[in-house]
Structure formats: C-alpha cells, structure tokens
Amino acid sequence: MIRLEKRPQPSQLWTYLTPVLAVLLTMIAGGALFAFLGKDPFEAIRTIFWDPLFSEFAFYYRPQLLVKGAPLVLIAIGLSLGFRAGIWNIGAEGQYIVGAICGAGVALALYPMEAFWLFPAMVIAGALGGMLWAMIPALLKVKFGTNEILVSLMLVYVAENLLASMAVGLLKNPEGFGFPGSRNLQQYPSAHNAELITGSGMHWGVVAALIAVIFAYVLLNRHMLGFHIRLTGEAPRAARFAGVRPARLILFCLGTSGALAGMAGLFEVSGPSGQIGIDFGSGYGFTAIIVAFLGRLHPVGILLAGGLMALTYIGGEIAQSNLGLPSSAIQLFQGMLLFFLLAVDVLTNFRIRLTNKAEVA
Amino acid sequence: MDMSAINPVLLLASLIVAATPLLLAAIGELVVEKSGVLNLGVEGMMITGAICGFAIAVNTGSPLLGLLAAAMGGAVLSLLFAILTQFALANQVASGLALTLFGLGISALLGQGFQGEKAPAFPKTDIPLLSDIPAVGHILFSHDIVVYLAFLLTLGVWLVLKYTRVGLILRAVGENHDAAHALGYKVVRIRVLAIMFGGACAGLGGAYISLIRVPQWTEGMTAGIGWIALALVVFASWKPWRVLLGACLFGGVNVLQLNLQAAGFAIPVEYLAMSPYLITILVLVIMSADRSSAPASLGRSFHASQ
C-alpha cells in the first residue's frame, strides 16, 4: 500500500528534478502515442528534440529557436509573477493580440513616415495595450471581487473577434486588393522589427525577453515587492499581517503580465509575422502557461523551459513535414507535459512510503 | 435589415437548443463544485465529448451510442483530473487548465479524419398532446430527447442535493472536508465520483453541439462554451434552478446575436460575436458581490494527514 507523507519543507532536490522527470515521462508517453499513430517513436522523438539543434539543416532551425522562444519566455515571465501570488491570468493570448493591434495601429496610422522614434513608440503602445487589456480583470477583481480566471479568459474570445474586425476593417491594407490583413510591417523600415544580426534570429523581442528574465530575477530575489509576491503565494495570512496590500499586488501582477504579453505581440507582428491578420493569434499565450509551470515559476527556469518548448514547436514542424506527424499530436504532446509535471510535483511536497498492510488512516 | 425575418417561436425553440449544452455542462460542474472541487477543465471535457460522440455516431450510425461514448469520454478525461488533484494533490486551477489544453489537443488528433463528415440525424421526440399546444408546444415539447434529459437531470440534481442523504454527504464534503472525514465519509472517493459525473455531463454537452446543434466536427468547435458554463455556476450561486435560468439567458443571447447577424443588423458581425463573452463578464461582475453561497472548501486539496 502506498502512503503519502507530507514533508515539513518542499524538497530542494525534487524541485530541480521534477521538470526533468516530467520531460522524460512525456517523451516516453509521447513515443507511445507516436508509435500508436504508426510512426517510429525513436525517430519521432529524435526529430523533435535533436534535429532542430544538431542535424545538417540545424543552421536553418537554430534561429527559429529564438524567434519562437522569445514570445513564450516574455509572456511566461509575466504570468509567473501572478501565479506565484495566486493570481491567475490565463488570458495572455488576448493581451498578446491587443498589444499587437495597438502597436501595429501606431505604425499604420503614421505610414509612410520614417522616424527613429517610431519603433520605440510602437513598443510602448503595444505594452500599454496589453496592460490595459489585463487591467480589465484586475480592476474588476479589486473593485467587485470578480473571478480573474474567467474574466481574463472571456477577454481572449473578445480579443480574437476584435482582431478579426481589425483585419477586415480599420487596419485593412488599402492597397491589399480587398484581401483581409493589414499592410506588411516588414516592408516599412521604421516599423520593422528586423534581425539585429542577419541570420541569427535575434530581434528586439529576444533582447526584451532576456531583460525581462533579469528584471524578474532581481524583483523576486532583491526587492520588497517580489518578497511580497512570494509571501502572498506561500502564506496568505502571514502576508496580510505583514501589511501586504492585495489590491496593489493584483494590479501589479496582472498589469505587468499584460504589458509583457502585449510587447510579445508587438514584436511578433512587427517582425516574424509582419501583419495583422485573422490568424495572427497563435496560441503562444496558452503555451506560455505550460512554460511558466515547467520553469517552476522561476525566471531562469522559464528561460530554459521556453527554449525547450520552442524546440517542440520547431521539431514538431519538422516531424510534420518529414514524418507526416499531425500538428495536433504536438499540441497533445505539450498538454501531456503539463499533466506529467503536475503529477510528479507530488514528490516535491510529499514522501512516498510503502507500508505492508493497510493502516487505519 | 429585416427584423421580420426573425420568428419569435423559432427563436425561442432554438434558444432551448442553444441552452442545452450549457445546461448539461454547468449542472455537472455544479455537482463537482458542491463537493468542493474546482474543475476548470470543462472546456477540455466538452470538446473531448464532442469528438468521441461524433466519431462513434458516424462509425456506428447510432447517435444514441454516440451520446453514450461522449459521456464516457468526458468521464475518462475527468478521471485524469481526479488522479492529479485527489491523489497527487496538485493545484486544482493548474490541473484544470492542463485538462483543457490536453482535451483540445486530443480532440484535434482524434478528429482528424472527421472534418467535413456529417453526423447521423438525431430523431425529434414530440411529447404527445403537449407538443400540439400552439406556439408553446413547439417551443418546449418538440425537441430531441437530450433536451428533456438535461431538464430531468437538473430536476434530479436539485432533488438529490436538497432532499437525500447522498446530497447531504456531498454538500458536507464540499463545505468542510475535515469534518466530513472525521465523521467517516470517504472524502476522496466522493470527490472522484463527483468529478466523473461532471465529466460525463460535460461530455454529453459537447456531443450535443457536435451531433445535434451544428451537426459537424470542426476543431475547437466548443469556442468557450465550457468556460461560460463555469461562469454560469457562479451566476447561479450554486443553485440548480438558477443554472437552468442562466443557461436559457445565455442561450438566448447567443441565438439573438446569431439571428441579428443573419438579419444583417447594422453592427459588424465580429462585435455581435463578442456579445456572449461580454455579457458573461457583466453577469460575473454583478453576481460576484455575493460570495456567501460558494462551498467553503472549494478549490482546497484534502489530505488525511493535514
């Protein structure tokens, strides 16, 4: 009979080991899934995790790692602040979309003016757009106690409809022969989020993601506000006695995560994606939730987890074209990862004891 | 724009059809939350039910078998959530999110070969005599069997929760799991059963969309209905009859905006399509002032050692 025994303190060792264990378990279960789909499991796993980095075409895939990883890390860093304090912003996808609309809107309004300050202004507009979108659930929670999970998620659907309306209406390319979608920002030098070093995949979004990691690390470890965030998550009662004001914390966490998600959207729309289109929303906002948990809500962990998740995106695309693996299999693979992660997390907080006979609990 | 194209009797009849999946998912979630568990995976269980039901109905040609498969699919998926939260004691919010992401992935994978297929027609069951009443008969008593089932389920859940010992135990577990444990009730077992009931209901609700309301399979076709069902439980203050009322209200909003789209109303389609979500937020704001009726142990993990 298996019995769980609560540890007096979460195990340090298992805190680091569980994400690795979860990834391994996902590989095994994923391999079984791929075998079930009639693909060679070893080849599939190798294609997803090895080929993007070390195959002969890796020079083409490695830059993609930064392009896909940057928005994931940027969004996940913001989400992790709230998750630590028990504030659940799961509408990052909506904030990402609104940030992109606001940022691109600034550029499209000023087209075809060329100015050095245009791109910074777009970044600010994107961050503000995302922040304001996240402020809706934040203010409703502070003022009326409304559940932020449901409100932030509902706003994703609202944002998707807003995006569709923008792509065929206000932001539509007047020279686009009636096709939906805005002007391509890649052809607008002042607004283009170009690669900083050609062929490296390094664009301003990657820089912003790295800065966000450092900022979050300093905030959580060296600043009173970060201490309050951690305290609220770990001991809400103690936090109240320590004078933490929950309302301020909610506004800060949701606002920051919204701003970061909005920035991620702006960097995407002005760079890799190029235009506001109906299919702009790519699910980064939801995958970032997995990244945040996989990185154990720790900035450095999130950086690593973002890289790993970007790898599954790229490897998934390779597997799709080379092995004919359906794209939904990769989606399922990512979902499985979160499941295993939550399941093995029990080892961090509990000891597993084997007892000979059933005891009276 | 032509408002006369909107026929009030047809509108109300399609309101009931739009309300049924919401009602099924929400009544299941109500039971889960009454037992003190917050399962945010309703959307994932609904979409899984939708594809399980659709696949079985297409392959066997029997929509009833499809419904059964949908309920089982939803229940099996919810069992994953039960294992995570009740045995591995994982955070319920995170596990629910995981369930939704997982459900969306697995449904997309299962549904690959079914895009564009057509589900076998579901027979309508007119209730004798009652369905002959003008207007009212057509609105209320001329539907498929699932509509009546959803209504009976609401009635059943209300009766069981209010008047039976089983209902009392379930509520006790949800209000104070430590006290219920001390009285000798198997908290974990009761919760697992409640979670599976919720999963089966959500699966049925999903299958109602893919088999009867649409009836086709498209990826992500539940489009947030599972999340609206979650909001509905809050709206209803955890009371079965108010879930029914809320489901009709949301069904009505959805049907009305679809009709306005079809009638070429002056507001662009995208803004009309936003309205159910915006109204959900509005209703949540209004209802969140009253938190007294939420089960006291909602969302808290239970372990006998604590």
The closest alpha carbon to B235, from B30, B19, B28, B97, belongs to B30
User: How many residues in chain B?
Assistant: 306
Residue A41 has which token pair?
């499991």
Has residue B126 been placed in a domain? no
Has residue B9 been placed in a domain? yes
Q: For residue B292, what are the contacts with CB-CB under 8 A and spacing of at least 6? A: none
- Select the residue from B80, B93, B102, B189 to test the A interface by mutation, using most A Cβ atoms within 10 A: B102
DSSP string, A289-342: HHHHHHTTT-HHHHHHHHHHHHHHHHHHHHHHHHH---HHHHHHHHHHHHHHHH
Residue B139 has which token pair?
């609105």
Q: What's the pTM value of the predicted model, to 2 decimals?
A: 0.87
Measure the N-to-C terminal CA separation of chain B; round to a whole number of Å: 64
Confidence of residue B5 (pLDDT cuts 50, 70, 90): low
Instruction: Using a CB–CB cutoff of 8 Å, tell me whether B115 touches chain A.
Output: no
Q: How far apart are CA A220 and CA A237, in angstroms?
A: 20
Choose the weakest-confidence range: A74-88, A334-348, B11-25, B133-147.
Answer: B133-147
CATH code of the domain covering residue B89? 1.10.3470.10
Q: Residue A3, SS3?
A: strand
Per the structure, the complete domain to which residue B188 belongs is given by: 3-121+145-287
The closest alpha carbon to B47, from B233, B222, B181, belongs to B222
Q: How far apart are CA A204 and CA A217, in angstroms?
A: 20
Q: What is the pLDDT of residue B292?
A: 66
Q: What are the phi and psi torsion angles at A353 (to 5°)?
A: -115, 140
Q: For residue range B240-267, what is the model confidence (pLDDT) as tens digits?
A: 888 888 888 888 888 888 777 777 777 7
Record: contact B105-A157, CB cut-off 8 A: no
Domain spans of chain A, in order of start: 38-325
Q: For residue range A123-137, what is the model confidence (pLDDT) as tens digits?
A: 899 999 999 999 999
* Topology, domain A38-325: ABC transporter involved in vitamin B12 uptake, BtuC (1.10.3470)
Instruction: Using a CB–CB cutoff of 8 Å, tell me whether A329 touches chain B.
Output: yes
Under 8 Å CB pairs connecting chains A and B tally to 134
Residue A117 has which token pair?
């300050």
- Select the residue from B228, B250, B277 to test the A interface by mutation, using most A Cβ atoms within 10 A: B277
Q: How far apart are CA A297 and CA B57, in angstroms?
A: 43
Record: contact A144-B285, CB cut-off 8 A: yes
User: Cα B253–B258–B263 angle (5° rounding)?
Assistant: 125
Contact A332, B102 (CB under 8 A): yes
Instruction: Using a CB–CB cutoff of 8 Å, tell me whether A352 touches chain B.
Output: no
Q: Where are the alpha helices (DSSP H) in chain B?
A: 8-34, 42-60, 63-82, 92-110, 136-140, 145-163, 165-175, 177-182, 187-207, 225-235, 240-262, 269-287
Instruction: Using a CB–CB cutoff of 8 Å, tell me whether A3 touches chain B.
Output: no
Element counts in chain A: helices (H) and strands (E): 15, 2
Give me the number of domains chain B comprises: 1
Contact A332, B109 (CB under 8 A): yes
Q: For residue range B82-102, what is the model confidence (pLDDT) as tens digits?
A: 988 888 888 888 888 888 888
Record: contact B84-A331, CB cut-off 8 A: no
Has residue B16 been placed in a domain? yes
Residue A46 has which token pair?
């190798």
Shortest Cα distance, chain A CAs vs residue B129, angstroms: 42
Choose the weakest-confidence range: A198-202, B207-211, B219-223.
Answer: A198-202
The closest alpha carbon to A260, from A42, A75, A35, belongs to A75
Q: What is the pLDDT of residue B1?
A: 46
